[in-house]
Amino acid sequence: MFEMHQMQYKRIVMLTSCALTFAAFAIWRIFQSVAERGGILGNPDVAPDLYILSCTILMTCGVVAILARSYEDHKQITQAERYDQDTGLPNSASLVERLNKSVKNGKTQSEIGLLAIGIDGLQSINVARGYGVGNQVIRVVAERLNAAIGNSGTLYRISGDTFMVCANGIETESELAQIAERIIELRDEPILAGGFTCFVGFAIGAVLADEEISDVQGFVRKAELALLHTRTQSTEKFVVYSNRLEHSTNRLSDLEAGFRQALETDQLEVYFQPLIDSASNSIVSVEALARWIHPQLGVIKPQEFVRLAEALGLNEKMGNVVLRKACSAIGPIKGLNLAVNISANHLLHPEFIRDLKQILELTHFPPERLELEITENVVMDLPVRANEVLRNLRRLGISIALDDFGTGYTGLSYLKELQVDRIKIDSKFVVGLGKSPEAEAMFASIVEIIQQRGHKITVEGIETMDQLKFLETFEGFWYQGFLFSKPLKYIQLLRSDFLNNLAVDPDDQLAEDHTEPKIKLVASS
């Protein structure tokens, strides 16, 4: 039986009682008249009662129609309240209801496991291909998730890119992990949507009810926090909530709450790490590295907040803040190039190039001095679209560097298709240089292939003289690493020896208020 909305229920009861009373009255009158005068036909006293009876029959039909309509409306309202319109899956209200029911029954719920699933890469698809394609992808993902889960549990859609599985009969973390594994494996299957081939990844946070669930909202929140942890702090794609996580998730939720405000209130600062040209042994560029100066927690590194920005959909905003600050700081130092890290979503955003042009104009920064650093996942996710954007950027005179080369999936064979000028060889290939012949041989073969393809090279993470000695056997590299300098605050960069031979344009007017000291005041050692 369905649950009736109270107002409708009252109205229907009233109308039905009226109709039934009139009908009973009319029938009683007809019987009485028939008993007194005999027969209906030709009996004038029966006519008004027949009229009343017909009316009541009509009224009853009306009530039945209203009832049927109410039932339909109610079904639709219930559907909208408890089901997601795009996928037809039950939503978060249904999940809470389901968990509440289990708790109300007073049973121990140790066998319930909750998995929060985040879809990675959906944002890029939305911005690059449009929300229509994104929605199609979501529908395919929902079907595949349902198939992967089978009868181990029920799938719910919680928000745009988050699903949850409420799994029954789960007693151990390894059982949760088995479900998670089946889901994570789906990332290898291409999705055809709107004529495009798309790929998405999966991040999962899970929680196991180890005691009776007394606080359903808290239980759901734990799964969500585990997911946030997976997305922002972990190298794993699956994390189970535990008390050990409590501290970091507390910090994480503090950061989550503060990040939006950080962008509004200018808490984001840019540090600069020098890049050294091996030929001249002098500074040739600086890499802009974001730091969040949190009012209570102090300096927070990008490892903690870059992925958080992505999870909160604030990537573009953050990226534009860094670009603007970096360009306005480095612009007046003539002869110094600038490298800025750009995340995948930001690069693929339809307004990226327009915003970038505006920033360059506003800060008077020549595009030829700018290098944008991208990572392999941009190219992996949307190779055609990414190359199109990169080509347009290069037409503007901006250079492109592929960052952290060797840490992702991109094989060397991909290189020739990439619209990049420079490859930054990741520090993991640098660690063994100067002490391990295998590491050196590996490094040399990577360099050979990159140079054959015509790309320039920056070597990241140089920390020791032994590494540098080995690197000096090659030519044409740019060097970056703690051996030369850690990332510096702007004021430290200005006061460093690095800038000794560079001209600073004394007339260069900074385009906007800069919280850092004006460059034209100091450019000496």
CB of 291 to ligand C2E, least distance (A): 7
Site string for ligand C2E, 273-312 (x = CB under 6 A): x---------------xx----------xxx--x------
Interacting residue with Mg ion among 191, 268, 403, 425 (CB under 5 A):
403
Residues paired with 456 in a beta bridge = 422
Q: Could you tell me if 348 and 378 are in contact, meaning their C-beta atoms sit under 8 angstroms apart? A: yes
Binding status of residue 269 toward Mg ion by CB under 5 A: no
Q: Give dist(CA 106, CA 212) in Å, integer.
A: 8
Site string for ligand C2E, 406-445 (x = CB under 6 A): ---------------------x------------------
Binding status of residue 341 toward ligand C2E by CB under 6 A: yes
Give the binding range for ligand C2E (CB under 6 A) out of 275-283, 431-439, 454-462, 503-511. Answer: 454-462
CA distances from 313 to 126, 161, 306 (A): 12, 11, 11
* Chosen from Mg ion, ligand C2E, none, partner binding at 71 (C-beta under 5 to 8 Å by type): none
Two structure tokens written together for 231: 């997305």
Q: Which residue has the tokens 């032994």?
A: 466
Q: Give dist(CA 232, CA 305) in Å, integer.
A: 7
Interacting residue with ligand C2E among 461, 479, 490, 523 (CB under 6 A):
461
Strands 422-425 and 456-459: parallel
Query: Is 431 exposed, middle or buried (CB count within 10 Å of its CB: 0-12, 13-18, 19+)?
Result: middle
Binding status of residue 84 toward Mg ion by CB under 5 A: no
Pick from 4, 224, 213: nearest CA to 101: 213
CB of 451 to ligand C2E, least distance (A): 21
Name the amino acid, one letter, at 297: L
Q: Could you tell me if 424 and 402 are in contact, meaning their C-beta atoms sit under 8 angstroms apart? A: yes
- Number of residues engaging Mg ion in binding (CB under 5 A): 5
Q: Give dist(CA 18, CA 131) in Å, integer.
A: 53
* Chosen from ligand C2E, Mg ion, none, partner binding at 481 (C-beta under 5 to 8 Å by type): ligand C2E
Two structure tokens written together for 43: 């009996």
Site string for ligand C2E, 20-59 (x = CB under 6 A): ----------------------------------------
Q: Which of residues 354-373 bind ligand C2E (CB under 6 A)?
A: 373
Give the binding range for Mg ion (CB under 5 A) out of 173-181, 227-235, 348-356, 371-379. Answer: 371-379
Residues paired with 203 in a beta bridge = 118
Q: Closer CB to Mg ion, residue 84 or residue 304? A: 304
Name the E strands within 297-361. Answer: 298-300, 337-341
Query: Is 223 exposed, middle or buried (CB count within 10 Å of its CB: 0-12, 13-18, 19+)?
Result: buried
* Chosen from ligand C2E, Mg ion, none, partner binding at 51 (C-beta under 5 to 8 Å by type): none
Binding status of residue 120 toward Mg ion by CB under 5 A: no
CA distances from 109 to 92, 102, 174, 396 (A): 19, 7, 18, 60
Site string for Mg ion, 451-480 (x = CB under 5 A): ---------x--------------------
Binding status of residue 224 toward Mg ion by CB under 5 A: no
Which residues are CB-neighbours of 262 under 8 A, at least 6 positions away? 268, 292, 294
Binding status of residue 269 toward ligand C2E by CB under 6 A: no
Binding status of residue 373 toward Mg ion by CB under 5 A: yes
Footprint of ligand C2E (CB under 6 A): 273, 289-290, 301-303, 306, 319, 322, 341, 343, 373, 403-404, 427, 460-463, 480-482, 487
